Structure 1
Amino acid sequence: MRVRDIPERMRPREELDRLGVGNVSDDLLLAIILRSGVPGMNVVEISRALMTHYGSFTAMSRASIEELSGIIRGMGPVKAQVLASALEIARRLGEERVPASPSVRTPLDVQRIMMGRIRPLEKEIFWTLRLDARNRMKGEPVEVTKGLLDASLVHPREVFREAIRSAAAAVVLVHNHPSGDPSPSAEDIRITKQMVEAGRIVDIKVLDHVIVGADNGSGNSPFVSLREEGVVKF
């Protein structure tokens, strides 16, 4: 079935005009981005097939252009590039919403700042947020290490290097749990205690260690503050 054969009130662009962009379904938004179909499938059918295959835009954003172009026969690299570009714009938009120098006063502030970076990740990454004396961020979050967290990989020298260079008064430690469960492991607690002690030596206070889980499908990610849990003395 061609798009022109679909009842007018169900066509992607007509639906957008009728409902407004904020009320259009995910598959119809995707159809508007892709614009046209391929032999044997109209653009709405392609979009629904992609959403069924990936389940969410977050999962889709992890796919390479090569993978996207091979999911639907005849889709090709051009449509895959268009789709990948739209998903990348969405990711960058999530980061742009963070003010240039946001204040970090609660674990929720940390989650909001880091959500755009953490949402598509499949590996653990450890960051530091550098803060001034008023708890305002000094520059972007600093990526310290990537991969399964281990005390041998997360060294105080790497954690505090950029904080010292930027004359930060304090830091907040952040890492993600791609499994979705932000509960701290014994190793997470051990690393945190080590960093708190190192911070005292270099006179940079470690305010908290926030662990953020994967997106739970609501657009938000669960998180745990080790300070609030009381498992580490900061």
Structure 2
Amino acid sequence: MRAVPSWAVVTAAAAPVLLVAGWTVAGARQPPGYDPIRDTISELAGEGATDSWLMAGCLVLLGCCYLGTALVLHAAGLPSRFLLALGGTATIALIAFPRPQVGGSPAHGTVATVAVLALSLWPAGSALRLPRAVRRDVAATPAGTPPWAFRRPVALAATALLLLLFGWFVVEVTGGSRTGLAERVAALAVALWPLAAILSARRAHRHWSARQPGPPVTDRARPDAPPVTPVGD
């Protein structure tokens, strides 16, 4: 199994921190009429927002965190890594299509939908089809199973939960009064799963490494020492 670098843990852990810090700090800069329960995160980076660069910058960094995780999370397999990278790219692209101060934006809505769907579906990608290289790594693990985050029941349950939260957000958009709350809960859940996947892969790699045989023992103390003749020969 390929090791997951330590910096990937920091990158994955930074995603939910950036998200919460962004909407908290940027929300505090808005006029009194802004309500985080009712109003969306996109409004904090949209046209007419006070210091919109704060939330926009956090979205860029958040997308980079997703891209960094997709780069090194080999245990997830290529389909999942592609979806995670697509979600990260779409998250960054949101700043190119800010939400207008009045009315909606089809471009912003499309990019946001791509981001949310890709980031919700990527856990299931590892459960539906494991590439051959990953199957070889799985066979080498002590239990012969993928890291817990990529086992079929867990991965499918994670995607089901994320899609359920996204559905709640859609319901609120169509006529609810808690759109901002639904979006924040869904976005935070999406941001936490890459961290869980990274920690799962690192744990599986530690177990796998512990089961590997040590370096072979030779009969030579030094490279230039003569060979040792076994007793009885």
More helix by share: 2
TM-score by length of 1: 0.26
Kindly indicate whether structure 1 or structure 2 has the higher relative contact order, using CA contacts under 8 Å at least 6 residues apart: 2
More strand by share: 1
Of the two, which has the highest radius of gyration? Answer: 2
